[in-house]
Structure 1
Amino acid sequence: MAPAGDAFPNGHADGTFDVAIIGAGVIGCALARRFTLEGARVVLIEKAADVLDGASKGNSAILHTGFDAPPGSVEAACIAAGYREYLEIRARLNLPLLQTGALVVAWTDEEAATLPDLIAQARANGVDDVEPLTEAEARRLEPALGPGVRAAFRVPREYVIDPWSAPHAYLRQAVENGARLMTAAPVTAGVFDGSTWRLETPRGAVRAGLVINAAGLWGDRLDDLLTGTTDFTIRPRKGQFVVYDKPAAALAGHILLPVPNKVTKGIVVCRTAFGNLLVGPTAEEQEDRERAGLVPETLEALIRRGTEILPALKDHEVTAIYAGLRPATEFKDYRIRVEAARRYVTVGGIRSTGLSSALGTAAHVHRLVAGLLAGHQAIADPVWPRMPMLAEHETRDWQCPGNGGVVCHCERVTRREIEAALDGPTGARSLAGLKRRTRVTMGRCQGFYCSEALAAITAGRLAVPMTADPTTAPPAAAGDEA
């Protein structure tokens, strides 16, 4: 199947845009939305066959308040702004919100001693409704907690969202308001002539007055390719996850957070918007930027840690495992840099908070470069697409008439949902992309019963057919199994 987008997108014979954004992860999709709504002609360029195929495909789907972000950092400001905007727009885009709240739980006396400082940090970040809890108070809120709790505090406004519907919504709103998407289009070279960039891709050249590097795990390499220098180095950090069957979700009402350290937020236990229970992620440094391999010993350790936090988990089945990579750098804060003379912006080092901060990051970047885009008028009455609802606690398509029948019974995905996810300029171009848009094959049986029907529906519509020889087709990417 042909990749999304035209060789010379947007009907411009010379492929010229105001803004070219490289990298269609959650940050790239949010940037495309923001700049499009502000009146710019935007193209979003992605090297993979589908969007959200890098760091954005594997995350814990928490809408963070930023309570534990470094006070005064760019990250803290972007999380706070992104959080607010998500809550402002989610109803119009039909995006879910599971209002769980979070408990930060100390399991040792040493961890308990750090809680007052964390509470002070939260208040410094404007999250002033945190509530210190004794062990007894924490157990009243979460009776299934295991032995060893010393103390805790509650963050009422930490929520659970759908990890993929949000960036897909940002992309759809951008495209439905005039932006263009090019997939299967890795940028191989770029030249700036003093006013305009010319970017080379296998699908044709793109000209743009401003280039934004949102390449995630490849951000430093893209900097070096286009500008000959970079001020950070990506250090891929792998996170492995274990997903429990839906009955396990009843064991935890809150997001259960550990006391974070300097490297990671630690192992989280929380419900998902899809009705499961999630344990993870790990934080493992590696060199490989493409593969997040699953390690049986590490997954066993995750399961042990999960049952220490919630002992009743030992009676529940694991239905999926997955891993993702985070684009960590040698710096704690985001790496956002504007080179005005070269009309080039880097948005790098967006680690585990990217889903929460994306809208805020996009607004921040737009403010930084507004002077380079003078003369644009914001769209007065933009299109607001409504996303399919995949959250278990909301009304789903299988409950509505005319859905064509249920194809994936584990996740109750209808034929109408699958057909809609395959259509249009932002439609799925890979099985992994279809999973992220519908959750088809992501339930208990992992596609054992529905794959034959799904292969028939998707025939001729995916870049790699489901019936392709597994010995010659590209291997499935980690991060799509949840």
Structure 2
Amino acid sequence: MIERDRPPQAPVDIAVIGAGVVGCAVARRFTLDGARVCVLEKAVDILDGASKGNSGILHTGFDAPVGSLEQRCIADGYAEYMEIRDRLGLPLLETGALVVAWTEAEEARLPALLDQARANGVADARLLDKAAIKAREPHLADGARAAILVPREYVIDPWAAPTAYMMQALTNGAHLMRGAGVTAGAFDGDLWRIETDAGPVLARAVINCAGLFGDRIDAMLLGDSHFTIRPRKGQFVVFDKAATALVSGIVLPTPSATTKGVVVCRTAYGNVLVGPTAEEQESRTDAATDRETLRMLIDKAATIVPALADQPVTAAYAGLRPASEEKDYRVRVEADRRYITLGGIRSTGLSAALGLARHAADLHATFAASTVPLSEPHWPRAPRLAEHAPRDWAEADNGGILCHCELVTRREVAAALTGPLAARGLGGLKRRTRVTMGRCQGFYCSAALADVTAGRLDPPMALPDRADD
């Protein structure tokens, strides 16, 4: 029987709605600041919405609108990630990025983009000529005319980081309720009473980090919303690990007025990634991929790195970005009702999350009493998923390898199924271990995994159909 989360018995200082990367970072920030925090997540696991599908890039904010809240939060989030990563065991693949111009018109836009980067505090960005581009990315297509090198654009693990943020919140006293979709709420002048599928929660303040449903939460709890989510799908193709010999870093297109374009980059898991697309849609939950778009991405990758045309594809996925009718973040403060919205956090949420959390704490301080920061907080270690760092399969007494494609051990799976943030769905287990994410996509390990996870996942694992085997 899967144990269900129950509401805290006493009122909390902060109710965080949504356990995506922003909600995880906010929970961590307020917990370390000494607040009593309860996180409300409607899914069975954290990171189950927009945060489960992204490119895994730690951005410097070089191309963000100058002076925008987005740029400030990216810069602050980047700085804090670099400050805390060793203590939390967060990986960092120091790749750098090239913003490549392939046409004369794109090349003409590079000087203005370089000026923008420097205005945003990214002073080490610089122009490269054809020879320097080839020296850095020798497998890049010959048509590259010029590029901007952004040395401090890095690749990180998009799941281990927010998992570590939430783990640090929980191990320092925060409360997490999964399967706790918000159904109603009211503020009586002193406390919010938030009704959820798992029971009511009393809180002195609310921070809405609900991502793709942030506008609906505002409308439900405040009676109106100042923004409207317009979901934007981004499809990705993942090339097999052998492709990493062809790409050393992050290859970005020169952005236009309408899109940032398709990226080719390495991943923390030892693959090469191409994407995303930018597809407007009505559905807030449909993250399906389609063959035609994936074929387009494969062809696009091959025009950038021709040798990728011969590389097998391991996987494809799509993420939904919570875009809105404006480009900048949609932050709302209702001081009289002790309510903050962090909305419209599109493709930069992974990089900006820690900065957004600090911004939320600053906003909260304008209408709430201060708390005493924890003097000696606990620092848990993130799951070790990065391919370039030591992994559990190489250590003794790991119980043996369960998923051979991704070299996931039985000990790693067992650890992910226990503790205050135990995985409760297959998606959550994947994000904690990489299990079933390799070449066979779980074909060979699903039977053993179903046995190991029996009674632990909601819904339970279904074995693959092998009628044609």
TM-score scaled by structure 2? 0.97
Q: Residue 3 and residue 112 in structure 1: after superposition, are their counterparts in 2 closer, same or farther (change >3 A)?
A: farther
Gaps of 5+ in 2: none
1:50 matched residue in structure 2? 45
Please, which moves more after superposition, 364-373 or 93-102? Answer: 364-373
Deviations 1:202-225 (A, max 9, x none): 211001000011000001011101
Counterparts of residues 266-345 of structure 1 (less than 5 Å): 266-345=261-340
Q: CA deviation at 1:335?
A: 0.8
Contact 1:3 1:183 survives alignment (8 Å): no
Distance between the aligned counterparts of 2:391 and 2:259, measured in 1?
Answer: 35
The reply to whether residue 231 of structure 1 matches residue 220 of structure 2 is no
Q: CA deviation at 1:319?
A: 0.6
2:80 matched residue in structure 1? 85
Q: Which one of 104, 116, 120 corresponds to residue 109 of structure 1?
A: 104
Counterparts of residues 433-444 of structure 1 (less than 5 Å): 433-444=428-439
1:474 matched residue in structure 2? none
Contact 2:5 2:198 survives alignment (8 Å): no
The reply to whether residue 136 of structure 1 matches residue 131 of structure 2 is yes
Q: CA deviation at 1:294?
A: 0.7
Distance between the aligned counterparts of 1:469 and 1:159, measured in 2?
Answer: 36
1:36 matched residue in structure 2? 31
Distance between the aligned counterparts of 1:249 and 1:26, measured in 2?
Answer: 27
Deviations 1:67-86 (A, max 9, x none): 00000000000000000000
Counterparts of residues 4-403 of structure 1 (less than 5 Å): 4-6=4-6, 8-9=7-8, 12=9, 15-403=10-398
Contact 1:3 1:184 survives alignment (8 Å): no
Q: CA deviation at 1:373?
A: 3.2
Distance between the aligned counterparts of 1:346 and 1:287, measured in 2?
Answer: 22
Q: Residue 114 and residue 4 in structure 1: after superposition, are their counterparts in 2 closer, same or farther (change >3 A)?
A: farther
Contact 1:4 1:425 survives alignment (8 Å): no
SS at match of 2:227: coil
Gaps of 5+ in 1: 471-482
Deviations 1:170-205 (A, max 9, x none): 000000000000001110000111111000012110
Q: CA deviation at 1:3?
A: 5.4
Distance between the aligned counterparts of 1:82 and 1:3, measured in 2?
Answer: 34
Q: Residue 29 and residue 5 in structure 1: after superposition, are their counterparts in 2 closer, same or farther (change >3 A)?
A: same
Contact 2:447 2:463 survives alignment (8 Å): no
Aligned AA (2:385): L
Contact 1:293 1:323 survives alignment (8 Å): yes
Contact 2:193 2:203 survives alignment (8 Å): yes
Q: CA deviation at 1:4?
A: 5.0
Deviations 1:382-415 (A, max 9, x none): 0000122111111100011111110001100000
Q: CA deviation at 1:139?
A: 1.3
SS at match of 1:157: coil
Q: Residue 263 and residue 129 in structure 1: after superposition, are their counterparts in 2 closer, same or farther (change >3 A)?
A: same
Distance between the aligned counterparts of 2:64 and 2:402, measured in 1?
Answer: 42
SS at match of 2:336: coil
SS at match of 2:182: coil
Q: CA deviation at 1:252?
A: 1.0
Identity, % of aligned positions = 64
Aligned AA (2:2): A
Flag as ranges the 4+ runs of structure 1 deviating above 6 A.
none
Contact 1:49 1:430 survives alignment (8 Å): yes
Aligned AA (1:384): W
Q: CA deviation at 1:263?
A: 3.6
Aligned AA (2:18): G
Distance between the aligned counterparts of 1:160 and 1:264, measured in 2?
Answer: 21
Aligned AA (1:186): G
Q: Residue 326 and residue 263 in structure 1: after superposition, are their counterparts in 2 closer, same or farther (change >3 A)?
A: farther
Distance between the aligned counterparts of 1:136 and 1:48, measured in 2?
Answer: 50
Distance between the aligned counterparts of 2:256 and 2:356, measured in 1?
Answer: 24
Q: Residue 230 and residue 468 in structure 1: after superposition, are their counterparts in 2 closer, same or farther (change >3 A)?
A: farther
Q: CA deviation at 1:314?
A: 1.3
